Amino acid sequence: MNQPMASISRLRLLAAALATLAPAGLTSMPSVDAQSVFLRPDQNRPAGMALLLERDIADGKQALGVFGITADPVQPQVWRIKVWEELPNDVKVRSETVQCSPSAPLRVTNDGRSLILRELNPGGVVTPANRIDHLVWWATCFPEQAGKDPNSLRGLARQLGYSGNRVEREQVVPASNL
């Protein structure tokens, strides 16, 4: 659902996200031809990466992880992260921004064509549609919970001050508008 986001703090977060997601927001390992040395992505994961999910698929593993978590130097409760999306023959690394504030939990990601802002509801219902957003958010904001089922963390979210009653929203900003 696309909803206008008018708050000044969200606009500042968007500006910060744009700075971190500039041209290097999405990188991919080059394709490997038959004559080159093939490195298996699952054997070359970054040190300190929190593995959020992993499953066997044809020809290898599919995995998702978070690493390189650093605090935003200007905005409290805002973190800059790298998200590792792995397939048996490809890896995509995305630069993202996550806001951990109980009043405005948010994940800012991209798909290579658009910037995507997702307002989250920690403590609320997690479905297949928002599961990855919540896995990334929990791993960033509360690293000790990385990889746990977000539905099992509802009680903890409420103890931490998240209501569980927020409406989740998504805003997509096409790259041509950036």
**What tens digit of pLDDT does each residue of 81-124 get?**
999 999 988 999 999 999 999 999 999 999 989 999 999 999 99
Our count of domains for the chain comes to 1
**What tens digit of pLDDT does each residue of 147-173 get?**
999 999 999 999 999 999 999 999 999
Is residue 15 a part of any domain in this protein? yes
pLDDT at 73 over 60: yes
The pLDDT value given to residue 17: 52
Is residue 54 a part of any domain in this protein? yes
Residue bearing the bigger pLDDT, 136 or 111: 136
Cα separation, 38 vs 139, in Å, equals: 30
Residue 125: C-alpha distances to residues 106, 108, 111 (Å):
16, 20, 24
Q: What is the β-pairing status of strands 106-110 and 90-99?
A: antiparallel
Is residue 171 a part of any domain in this protein? yes
Is residue 32 a part of any domain in this protein? no
Domain range for residue 137? Answer: 8-24+40-177
Is residue 98 a part of any domain in this protein? yes
The pLDDT value given to residue 172: 97
Is residue 135 a part of any domain in this protein? yes
Is residue 34 a part of any domain in this protein? no
Is residue 3 a part of any domain in this protein? no
**What tens digit of pLDDT does each residue of 4-57 get?**
444 545 545 554 554 444 433 544 444 433 333 357 788 889 999 999 999 999
The pLDDT value given to residue 175: 83
For the whole model, what pTM was predicted? 0.81
86 phi-psi bin (left φ>0, alpha ψ -120 to 50, beta other): beta
B/e letters for 138-167, b = 16+ CB within 10 Å, e = fewer, are bbbbbeebbbeebeebbeebeeeebeeebe
